[in-house]
Structure 1
């Protein structure tokens, strides 16, 4: 928790310092900049925090996941028992456990905090993985919860959103003034078009940063899965994913928390290539 909060504070400080430097270079009024930073932070973090708070509800709605309240068969009993055992080992509260109907081999974890999370698996996973492989996947998802990855991603996205909003308007104002020769601070219609375009461009760079961090999280979650289920089981699960890997059908807001990623260009991948994940586990010291 301390590392996560420290990272959050340092990143925010870096954003403020960079914004101040840009403001000084471009001659932006400090009072105007302060107001812009406040508004940008409200909008930037507001969306991320709301998404985090609604993540379980939206995940259930988006995937049609059905929470297991009373096990109806041995498979559901095994799922509950395995998640309960791993959650206890990780020192977190018992997550809700759900199953959603999808042919792909996948699973995800989400939730606003580590003691009120949701772990869901696809019917494709249950039909195509052995118990050992499924156990490793569940361990991977429990590691996401225990590491606080959902909260960390929300904080990071809030910082990036704020940065995009501020930088687009600062740079947009300078470009608009240079093009129009306007010196009285007024903004024409062109300014809003420029800001819109800049938000799209800076947003792409922000997405690259978020996805880089997401890929880093996956290695940690794989290590967690190896710790909770065993390294060979985790490697076997990833090998199975490699054999059956297809396009993820998870909604965008939870795709980064699935065991399997997308097939986008590498800079926009939420998950590292399976070959890299397997190699990292083979070289690890986890038993």
Structure 2
């Protein structure tokens, strides 16, 4: 049977692979995108202090037509040598790729930590002060200590629905976010079970994995927007630069809006079942977790998270309204296992099945 250490090692391998693929894709897109964009931008610039490449083409074409009119031959190749233009474009592409590599390396090593700040701000989460919420902090600290992680910082989202998620990727400085509805509508035992579920995510390293994917997705989206903006702002890029910027933007958006979220969905579905089982071991109260999930399933939508679909996988239950019928039937948009499956697994652990 797999242990906590096995799950942590598995998540670390996934983080490494995700980071490696991220760096390779970014470097490939940066080099070819900047190279093609440079070709489009430099065709009108003087090369080595001489006339531009387009001027050379124009003059050579005129001379070619005149020569053909004189001797009647049409077999001469009239395009001038493009070696200087390609060399200049490659130089720029190499410099851009080096800068992108350094930024990507920094993002891989430290980016997930900044992801916590982005998630908390996107959710409009407010920090709860310990003196004013001693009992809640006691429950959360007990759950985290049972999981072998540090006492958490607690945040609240002012929403009447019932949901919770963990934003802190660092096990030495975790952050747990709950909705105001969860605090009002769950009993003490049910609340402890939910906090144990979130502590299990921290213990397994699930949060770091999901946050890495989330931050990677966000970065690719920003890169795509930067590519599209460069097309609008750089009017002298020409047709080749326009096509290069558009292709790079579509490529980055595809990775950021489709590929990374789908990877995160698959990861989060697996993590939820594992965290449910571990929460039972931490709080020793299967019935409380079953009761809490039943209440959460009836009203888990968090309206503010409708604007941030990439954060859905962090929550204990899907915080969004149902999607289209096709997506619901296919399961492609499912960020969590069906609640019936989760409850059946817990009831089986509790000997009810």
TM normalised by structure 1 equals 0.71
Cα distance in 2, alignment partners of residues 158 and 194 from structure 1: 22
Look up the SS of the partner of 2:304 in the other structure. Answer: coil
Correspondence for 2:44: none
From 266, 273, 278, the equivalent of 2:338 is 273
In 2, the alpha carbon distance for the partners of 1:142 and 1:64 equals 18
- Residue 207 of structure 1 deviates from its aligned partner by 1.6
Q: Displacement, 1:189?
A: 1.4
2:301 aligned to which of 232, 235, 246: 246
Q: Give the whole-Å Cα distance in 2 for the aligned partners of 1:11 and 1:108.
A: 22
* Alignment partner, residue 188 of structure 1: 241
What corresponds to 1:5 in structure 2? Answer: 12
Task: Determine the C-alpha separation between the residues in 1 that align with 2:214 and 2:169.
Answer: 14
Partner residue of 2:168? 111
Query: Are 1:260 and 2:314 matched, yes or no?
Result: no
Aligned to 1:28: none
Structure with more relative contact order (C-alpha pairs < 8 Å, separation 6 or more): 1
Aligned partner of 1:218 in structure 2 is 272
In the other structure, the counterpart of 2:288 is 233
Q: Does residue 70 of structure 1 match 2:131?
A: yes
1:203-240, Cα deviation, whole Å (9 max, x unpaired): 31232112111222111222222222222221111111
**Number of residue pairs the alignment of both structures matches:** 259
Partner of 1:23: none
1:156 positional shift:
3.9
Partner of 2:31: none
CA separation of 1:205 and 1:41: change in aligned 2, threshold 3 A = farther
Greater shift in the superposed pair: 188-197 or 206-215: 188-197
* Structure 2: distance between partners of 1:17 and 1:87: 36
Residues 105, 245 of structure 1: 8 Å contact kept: yes
Q: CA deviation at 1:128?
A: 1.5
Which segment is superposed worse, 200-209 or 119-128? 200-209
Displacement after TM superposition at 1:9 (Å) = 3.3
1:201 maps to which of 250, 254, 266: 254
Q: Secondary structure of the equivalent of 1:92?
A: coil
Name structure 1 gaps, 5 residues minimum.
20-30, 167-185
In the alignment, is the contact (CA less than 8 A) between 2:206 and 2:271 conserved in 1? yes
Equivalent position SS for 1:249: helix
Measure, in 2, the Cα distance between the counterparts of 1:41 and 1:268.
34
The 2-side partners of 1:161 and 1:280 are apart by 34
Match of 2:103 in 1: 42
Measured after TM superposition, the shift of residue 115 of structure 1 is 1.3
Deviation of 1:197 after TM superposition, in Å, equals 2.4
With the length of structure 2 as denominator, give the TM-score of the two structures: 0.59
Matches within 5 A, 1:115-194: 115-157=172-214, 187-194=240-247
Q: Using the TM superposition, give the Cα deviation of residue 46 of structure 1 relative to its aligned residue in structure 2, in angstroms.
A: 2.3
